Structure 1
Amino acid sequence: MVFLPFLAVLAAFAVSTRASPLDQPTRTVTTDATSCFPALGFKMPSNTPSSLTNWWCDPSTEYGFIGFSYEVTACQSLTQLKKDFLQIRQNFNGRYIRLYGFCDNAGFYNNIVEAAWDAGVGVHALIWFGFDGGNEWMDRRNKLLGILHSNEKAKFVTRALQFGSEPLFDSVLDPSVLAAQVTAAKSNLSSLHIPVTISEMAYGYQENEDNGAQDVLDAIDLIDAHMLPFFSTEASTANKAWPIVLTDLDWFIDNGEGKKIYFTENGWPSVTSDGVQPNSPSAVANVQNEHDYYSLLDAHCEDFKQVKGGGVGWFWHIYSDDMEPGYGLYSTSGKLKFPFSPRTSC
């Protein structure tokens, strides 16, 4: 099988059964909002620390709004990345960037690392599978793993590595193979203490319940969950979406083995398009409903805080309509669609 050579190579990095990297004291030992990365108020050091000890904030502090999904298919320049990441940090109190899409330019993730370090934000890195069934993801995987090991700053800004965006729903790999890829990458990154997961909606797991989805749930270190209630058959307006959100959240709570949960691909569109069509005749896509969805999440800060595993941190998908029409905080003209000042604690 085409995946076996890579898995064999990674076996050399194998370690004995261990706790999730998010539970390891070398990554998360403090909840002090001024002394851990990437807490608001944290000051980046002039040089990389000698170790990860006392570096990462405890997951229990990472609930409510934590940042934006950010598509990189445009292969943004380092200058643009620095500008956007710093704006996310300073204007919206973002603590993380969740990458979306792909850029195959050599060394591009080095620019992501540099921009994240400069802005003081963490990154949920992504191995993009795409939609055509090709094997380009293997090269992306190998290059990303290489940079995570070679760039001295990478382990200090990379909070998690994601395999794909809805890989179960898109059937890009057999679930058992996907689980094996996750396990192999965990072994590869064990010395860097970078958790590995997939980015997936509840339905992606549910439709593969009898086909190995549990193997994937067992393998991942944390849950990067998709939350897109606009596509529910019960959708109407965003301010009525909480029961839909809660249904999927409860599924992750019930089946997620107490692992930390983030909402990664998470939002409500302001327009429909060829690829964005509702499954309910009552679902409304406009700017007001996009606004109301994030207001709804903000209103449930206390509920997210109480979820076992360290609460639920949520991303806005996606930063700009230039990246994915209808989902951005910024319109294609570069203007804010509406003021946005979400809670990062409660």
Structure 2
Amino acid sequence: MTRLETIQNMYGWAGFVYALDACKSRSDMAAVFAAMKAKGARSIITFDYCDNAAFGRDLLNAVNDSDIYIFPQHYSYENNFKNAGLDIPVSISELAYGWQQAGDFSAVQNALDLFMINNFPYFAQNAEEGGSSSTWSKFINDMNYYVSIANGKPLVVTQTVWPSNEDEFAPNSPNIVVNAQSGQDNWNLWMVIVPIFSNPTTSCGCGEIGMIKW
């Protein structure tokens, strides 16, 4: 079974994201990946970029040392992996809004092995409280959009959050509730959402999605 076929049969929570911009050593990355695996992670998603010619090999070796799957999120790595004959699915992670504003994205769309999704109901124009029905509706609407552009490729939710304050992420809705309780309510909503997507036979009212729920 290829890694992509494995992804297509994975459901539920799968792992963590990991930033590459610090350009860590092979041993440092392997230690972090091993700690992630010890917490139940099956996979890691990378983001950002390390401008070091030798880093790509260190990253792959660290993954191999840790015996964990990797989803390289940076589009520029695609040719390096595929030309080397490596069985590593490649993707990028983006908001639905980013795709909708991108114009002709067919070249990227066709190059991806799977779609990694930033799904943030927090940024919706009509966002209210973290556990509200509008939060669920926005999440499902974005998932339906990804179904429409994915052409049957796997969908992986890679990032979602409901902050407890507005210091770093300014909301777009005048009616939003941004505090610790709203964040907790959003987490509680996730505890409902994840089991729905953990079972591929369960209907979620969001189209036919063969996906990992991240």
Q: TM-score range by the shorter chain?
A: 0.7 to 0.9
The question of whether the paired residues in 2 share the 8 Å contact of 1:95 and 1:120 is answered with: no
How far apart in 2 are the matches of 1:286 and 1:103? Answer: 35
| 1:60 CA displacement | 4.1
Q: Identity rate of aligned residues, in percent?
A: 28
Number of equivalenced pairs? 205
The question of whether the paired residues in 2 share the 8 Å contact of 1:82 and 1:116 is answered with: yes
1:103 maps to: 50
Correspondent of 2:171 among 278, 282, 296: 278
2:204 maps to: none
| 1:57 CA displacement | 6.1
1:246 maps to: 140
2:210 maps to: 310
The question of whether the paired residues in 2 share the 8 Å contact of 1:60 and 1:309 is answered with: no
Query: Could you say what secondary structure the match of 1:196 adopts?
Result: coil
The question of whether the paired residues in 1 share the 8 Å contact of 2:72 and 2:89 is answered with: no
Query: Could you say what secondary structure the match of 1:65 adopts?
Result: coil
Larger Rg: 1
The question of whether the paired residues in 2 share the 8 Å contact of 1:260 and 1:308 is answered with: no
Is residue 301 from structure 1 mapped to residue 168 from structure 2 by the alignment? no
Correspondent of 1:127 among 71, 74, 79: 74
After superposition, give the CA deviation of every residue in 1:254-274 in whole Å (9 maximum; x if it has no partner): 33222110012332233333x
1:5 maps to: none
The question of whether the paired residues in 2 share the 8 Å contact of 1:239 and 1:289 is answered with: yes
| 1:219 CA displacement | 4.0
Cα separation, partners in 2 of 1:197 and 1:79, compared to 1, 3 Å: closer
2:35 maps to: 87
How far apart in 2 are the matches of 1:116 and 1:193? Answer: 13
Q: 1 or 2, which has the higher helix percentage?
A: 2
1:221 maps to: 113
Extract unaligned runs of 5+ from structure 2.
Answer: 201-206
After superposition, give the CA deviation of every residue in 1:57-113 in whole Å (9 maximum; x if it has no partner): 63343222111112222223434323322221112x111111122222342233322
1:267 maps to: 161
Aligned-CA RMSD value: 2.8
Q: Which amino acid aligns with 2:130?
A: A
The question of whether the paired residues in 2 share the 8 Å contact of 1:64 and 1:298 is answered with: no
Extract unaligned runs of 5+ from structure 1.
Answer: 1-24, 29-55, 129-140, 149-185, 315-346
How far apart in 2 are the matches of 1:258 and 1:57? Answer: 13
* Residues 141-180 of structure 1 aligned to structure 2 (within 5 Å): 141=76, 145-146=79-80, 148=81
How far apart in 2 are the matches of 1:294 and 1:270? Answer: 12
Q: TM-score, normalised by structure 1?
A: 0.52
